[in-house]
């Protein structure tokens, strides 16, 4: 008896990282889901808050919380700013603190912010092919500093989980602003 050769169950579109197949969840964050995140409240107040800031696809082959499994995802951050502050993700730590994650730039340009438990930050440029290791215990947020969508891929353990609360409550100690046409990372006073 010969074994059949099946098509792969999932397919990645290399142009933007999008994933086709079963068990792929899609979600979006709109401006109205990010009240209080951007500094410039005046600019925020006059924007269409129904617009999407970023969207996520996640292929979850096993249940969340399972030890030893992996998830694979893609995030797209739209180009845009609130005042001079670029569109970005909420950012998170992992619930299971020591779990790491890989990000890789696919299309567009941006910045990946890392924050340790002492709120010390560093930043790496994200661009097509950039590969970023996010160790455990490191909060991470991604910012689109370009004029086109920023697409990036991710792989993380299925028992990592997400802790958004820490960053929702305390934010990052820096903001990424466009100053003289260039992205700059400015400490929050």
Question: Which residues in 170-189 contact a second copy (CB under 8 A)?
Answer: 174, 183-187
Q: Which of 161, 154, 157 shows the shortest CA–CA distance to 130? A: 154
- Compute the least distance from the CB of residue 127 to a second copy, in Å: 8
122 binds a second copy (CB under 8 A): yes
Q: What are phi and psi of 188, to 5 degrees?
A: -75, 125
Regarding 25 and contact with a second copy (CB under 8 A), the answer is no
The smaller minimum CB distance to a second copy, of residues 54 and 72, is found at 72
d(CA 180, CA 72): 37
To the nearest whole angstrom, how small is the minimum distance from the Cβ of residue 24 to a second copy? 10
To a second copy, the closest distance from the beta carbon of 8 in angstroms equals 4
Under the criterion CB under 8 A, does residue 68 sit at the interface with a second copy? yes
Overall size of the chain counted in residues = 189
Closest to 87 (Cα-Cα) out of 139, 144, 46, 31? 144
Cβ 16 vs Cβ 152: under 8 Å: no
Region at 50 (left for phi over 0; alpha for psi -120 to 50; beta for the rest): alpha
Considering only 28, 133, 148, 170, the residue that binds a second copy (CB under 8 A) is 133
Residues making contact with a second copy (CB under 8 A) = 1-14, 19, 21, 59, 61-62, 67-70, 72, 96, 98-102, 104-105, 111-112, 121-133, 135-136, 155-158, 174, 183-187
């Amino acid at each position: 008896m010969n074994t059949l050769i099946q098509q792969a169950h999932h397919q990645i579109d290399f142009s933007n990282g999008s994933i086709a197949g079963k068990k792929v969840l899609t979600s979006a964050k709109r401006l109205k889901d990010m009240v209080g995140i951007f500094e410039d409240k005046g600019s925020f107040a006059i924007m269409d808050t129904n617009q999407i800031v970023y969207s996520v696809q996640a292929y979850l082959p096993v249940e969340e919380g399972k030890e030893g499994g992996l998830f694979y995802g893609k995030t797209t951050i739209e180009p845009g700013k609130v005042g001079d502050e670029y569109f970005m993700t909420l950012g998170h730590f992992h619930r299971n603190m020591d779990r790491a994650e890989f990000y890789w730039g696919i299309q567009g340009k941006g910045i990946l912010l890392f924050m340790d438990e002492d709120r010390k930050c560093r930043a790496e440029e994200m661009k097509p092919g950039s590969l970023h290791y996010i160790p455990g215990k490191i909060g991470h947020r991604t910012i689109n500093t370009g004029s086109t969508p920023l697409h990036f891929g991710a792989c993380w353990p299925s028992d990592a989980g997400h802790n958004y609360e820490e960053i929702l409550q305390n934010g990052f100690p820096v903001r990424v602003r466009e100053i003289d046409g260039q992205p700059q990372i400015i400490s929050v006073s």
